[in-house]
A and B are shown apart, each in its own frame.
Chain A
């Protein structure tokens, strides 16, 4: 990890895969001073696929050298040492860089006077706090890529809940949904509360391959999410979905069955956690007994509360599937009994009854 703040030239070497020239080195300026809990930074350190140290130590072939500036992991004591690359970037003296925002963006316009909802460092001239909004206004237009980490930064999240005093919103609400970075990329949204560790590191790695000139831009959907991670629903990857098909629902949280009647929103939520596990294939949500509360979604949390009540649409679909499910479950039960028996030629008697015929020809 270095703290260089000099201007760098794009590599003169054409990249191996494309015609576009890539970068040999890039800074990641990570600001978690949104309405945040730093849970996305913490979660990112849980990824082993790849691990943050793999990226920082340059162990992934083909990536640019990465200088990570993240408050939680920075070796510096903080203050001006830590702020130096952020200040250089704001002056236009650091390029290229990826701006990562963690936490929702408060509405500074609703404050009368000199107050602030959140700040990141001070103005060196006046000594007054510099708001997150000021930093975004300075840095986003100069960033080669802008990444929103977590549901707060992407869509506002829990801190933008009905009744909140700060008027919080997501980064695209603040910058505009048609925002394009210096690298001609839209905002890259990685939702999740927190981000699933491997989802984030994989997206960052794709963006870095793109920065190196060896990959196209990451494919994003209309809500600017990576398609390969958020293109399917929770339910489509949930190992309890078979209970659903058989019309067999858990009535409380003691049950290993489908949780749709006790609050799971999985059938309508874009997220890969049950399929992927939480980390290293371990843990998850409905696959391990935790109702899906829709924490990756733009409508989170208000569209999903009260969390422990059955989703409105769930009662209709679960009622419709009941007759089919009950019938199929019964038939499968019968077949299951049949296939739980071994064939009759498995025995230890002094005769062979398997049907073996040494002279058999078709």
Chain B
């Protein structure tokens, strides 16, 4: 069983009243995503969900035969919000293929850039996209009873964020009008300025190269970054407190809300921020330097750590079809039969993938329905193809790091069960240590809660990286780029945490040209359709079976609980897809439950 068990509670079930509900395109995400559901309004739950993306551009097709050094520039264009994650990951893969290690200062500069990217992206997404689903206007339209309670509920974190009641916080997030909504747009600009000081421009970097960076490591570069970092600290500390208040309130106001978007704990994290003291980009030692990353890689299943070894993570990757618009490549010649350690590489591994698009009619009833493929991680001990998710990114990163207990810096410490994040004094607020503890569930609210904590984590690590960088500069070590030659034949892989989670790039070079290149961003994992084993993708699995708390019936149904779940994964479909709310065409009205209802 690689999906979440049936959650329908034993007890009184009413005759099902199943209505087709779909949202296409979904708003407040990046890219095209469509969510097609069947909702049982009598029992207030979602009985079926299909996730589809309707956009195909074909990067792995048009990159063939190009100069491998172009890969970071090209793959950045995969995504307009996390493109720099692709450039970074591509450069990691190229550095492995070319056999080079960038100077330590370059690594610090890339880490600072990526820290700013997390701060920017999580802020604009959480406050200007996700939180609109929790704002006063939305809660009034979907759960007026909850809003009335929020007006009467004092906010526990008022001393930090200044809002007296939960409803006051919700009002601050009303789109284009709320105070925090507008402030978040401004903070997303300051953090992008920080990013630009390190990587030139946003979102497609100009100063990142395989072998290092072209960024000028002047003291001014770091002062410009540091002063902006200090200016956004109050906002970051307040965000964590506001989010905690609102999400804790939801659990209390709507008993059972923990079931919304809950799925079995199957999280993947590929690690973030290299430590230049350890990372040499050799495949052979990848397991060791992977564990030294400042976010620890790991696959977490049912609360236990399956592996933190990037070599194992790499070899377990499988790209399945089943519901996607592509021709299979299983009977083609493999590009890579063995990894540099002599391990067998599977035919369904990205190194061996060949992408042949086959545009076709969408068939949501047992046929092909998406341009997204179905990446899975093969757990050899359990002999299962796990549909891992990333929890939107932050949940898996914090979970893996906490459980591994390896990160130990003056600003961030992993304890085995939590992550402690220390932020210095800022203009309004004192020095604070925030602690993210491993939650009870992998669900919608915990995915959303993890996001502001990871902004704090990124800010804290940014202080660490800037201290490293400035001490190198003060010591006169100004080198930022290492020269290299492109080999005739080579392979490489890059592992990085994009904002939304796991990101890998697999590269094969023949005759100094790209013979094969496959980027796997987080969204293909999360937004994937049913695979050849029939296992649904994480959005589908998380939405399917979830209860509905919205007070509206089929005629004015907004689907807010479903949308909260989908958005909790921070969908980004250029990286991987399209929500259409039909006027609720009623499918069946039966007296026996038809979909997945286990009733006694």
Contact = CB atoms under 8 A, between A and B. Distances in A.
Say whether A and B bind each other: yes
Contact of B81 (A39, A128, A290): A39
Given A42-B30, A46-B189, A256-B216, A165 B69 contact: no
Given A39-B83, A45-B185, A113-B360, 17 more contacts: A37-B30, A52-B185, A57-B176, A72-B27, A75-B132, A77-B27, A78-B23, A113-B359, A115-B360, A118-B32, A163-B61, A279-B189, A283-B200, A284-B200, A289-B200, A290-B207, A305-B70
Nearest to A124: B582
A279 B244 CA distance: 32
A118 B176 contact: no
Interface of B: 22-32, 54-58, 61-62, 64-67, 69-70, 73-74, 77-81, 83, 124, 128-129, 132, 137-138, 175-177, 182, 185-186, 188-189, 192-193, 196-197, 200-209, 211-216, 224, 325, 357-362, 478-481, 483, 558-560, 563, 574, 578-583
B574 A37 contact: yes
A164 B58 contact: yes
Contacts of B206: 283-286, 288-291
B203 A285 contact: no
Nearest to B215: A289
Contacts of A252: 481, 483
Contacts of B361: 113-115, 128
Given A39-B79, A285-B200, A115 B325 contact: yes
A280 B214 CA distance: 21
Contact of B74 (A35, A42, A78, A301): A301
A38 to B, nearest CB: 4
A179 interface: no
Contacts of B558: 77
A282 B224 contact: yes
A247 B359 CA distance: 53
Contacts of B129: 72
Contacts of B212: 253-254
Contact of B128 (A36, A73, A122, A286): A73
A223 B22 CA distance: 41
10 contacts: A72-B28, A72-B29, A73-B28, A77-B23, A78-B25, A122-B24, A253-B480, A278-B202, A306-B70, A308-B70
B81 A165 contact: no
Interface in A308-351: 308-309
A163 B62 contact: yes
B207 A288 contact: yes
Contacts of B31: 37-38
Given A37-B78, A72-B29, A289 B202 contact: no
Query: Which are the 8 A-B pairs with shortest beta-carbon distances?
Result: A39-B80, A115-B359, A290-B206, A283-B196, A289-B214, A79-B581, A306-B67, A114-B361
A265 B209 CA distance: 16
A74 interface: yes
A7 interface: no
A273 interface: yes
Interface of A: 1, 33, 35-43, 45-46, 48, 51-53, 56-57, 71-83, 111, 113-122, 128-129, 157-159, 161-166, 168, 193-194, 252-254, 256, 259, 273, 278-280, 282-286, 288-291, 293, 295, 301, 305-309
A163 B64 contact: yes
A296 B309 CA distance: 42
Nearest to B580: A79
B201 A278 contact: yes
A138 to B, nearest CB: 16
Contact of A76 (B27, B67, B214, B574): B27
Contacts of B205: 290
Contacts of A280: 189, 193
Nearest to A68: B176
Contacts of A57: 176-177
B62 A128 contact: no
Given A37-B78, A39-B204, A289-B216, A79 B23 contact: yes
A35 B579 CA distance: 19
Contacts of B80: 36-43, 194
A78 B201 contact: no
Given A75-B132, A278-B196, A301-B74, A290 B214 contact: yes
A120 B357 contact: no
Nearest to B355: A165
Most chain A CB within 10 A, of B80, B185, B204, B361, is at B80
B372 to A, nearest CB: 13
B579 A77 contact: yes
Most chain B CB within 10 A, of A120, A122, A256, is at A122
Contacts of B563: 77-78
Contact of A78 (B124, B215, B580): B580
A283 B574 CA distance: 25
B58 A166 contact: yes
A74 B30 contact: no
B472 to A, nearest CB: 14
B580 A119 contact: no
A297 to B, nearest CB: 14
